[in-house]
Amino acid sequence: MYKYIQKLWKNPTKNMGTEYKEHLVAWRKDPVVVRIVKPTRLDRARSLGYRAKQGIVMVRARVKKGTTKRPAVNHARRPKRHVMLRLPVRKSKQRIAEERSARKYPNMEVLNSYWVGDDSKSEFYEIIMVDPNHPVIFKDKQLNFLCKKTSTRRVHRGLTSAGKKSRGLR
């Protein structure tokens, strides 16, 4: 079954057509970070560590496309020219989505994330979040590494998969 789901998501606009576009329209109207009941891409979520058990939460985040506007170093110009425009973001959109969702749910740890769609203005990612204080997670041998004090705020330290990639470790 996962093989067929994976095949659909190779080219979602062609394979899913209007359903995919309707999802994007609905997601655009949602808040930037919203909790969802179950993953949209079950195959990808399970390969990244998602299990349908207590203590694991799915979140969808929206990140705007485009470049950043950063303050300039040289202030010998008029205020309008005090910013440097069209600069690439130092972090990936996926990493930004993970960090925003971690700030929205401070008691959760980010396990991993994956892409679910993009339109002309935004990109959408689903983030797998784990509650490290939950007894079910504490007993799980694959996920209890998140319960240690050393693994707190791993997303802000760049220890998720997207964080390691943007740091050049993959």
Convert the chain into a string of H (helix), E (strand) and C (coil): CHHHHHHHCCCHHHHCCHHHHHHHHHHHHCCCEEEECCCCCHHHHHHCCCCCCCCEEEEEEEEECCCEEEECCCCCCCHHHCEEEEECCCCCHHHHHHHHHHHHCCCCEEEEEEEEEECCCEEEEEEEEECCCCHHHHHCCCCHHHHCHHHCCCCCCCCCHHHHHHCCCC
Residue 24: pLDDT over 70: yes
Q: Is residue 24 part of a domain?
A: no
Residue 75: pLDDT over 70: no
- Average pLDDT value for residue range 88-111: 93
pLDDT at 37: 96
- Average pLDDT value for residue range 108-123: 95
Residue 89: pLDDT over 70: yes
pLDDT at 26: 96
Residue 61: pLDDT over 80: yes
| Least confident segment among 16-20, 45-49, 77-81, 126-130 | 77-81
Q: Is residue 52 part of a domain?
A: yes
User: For the chain, what is the domain count?
Assistant: 1
Q: Is residue 83 part of a domain?
A: yes
Query: Domain residues for 108?
Result: 32-166
pLDDT at 82: 75
- Average pLDDT value for residue range 86-102: 90
Residue 160: pLDDT over 80: yes
CATH (domain of 147): 3.40.1120.10
Q: Is residue 8 part of a domain?
A: no
Residue 112: pLDDT over 90: yes
pLDDT at 159: 94
Q: Is residue 9 part of a domain?
A: no
Q: Is residue 131 part of a domain?
A: yes
- Average pLDDT value for residue range 95-104: 96
What is the reported pTM? 0.89
Q: Is residue 20 part of a domain?
A: no
Residue 20: pLDDT over 90: yes
- Average pLDDT value for residue range 2-6: 90
Q: Is residue 4 part of a domain?
A: no
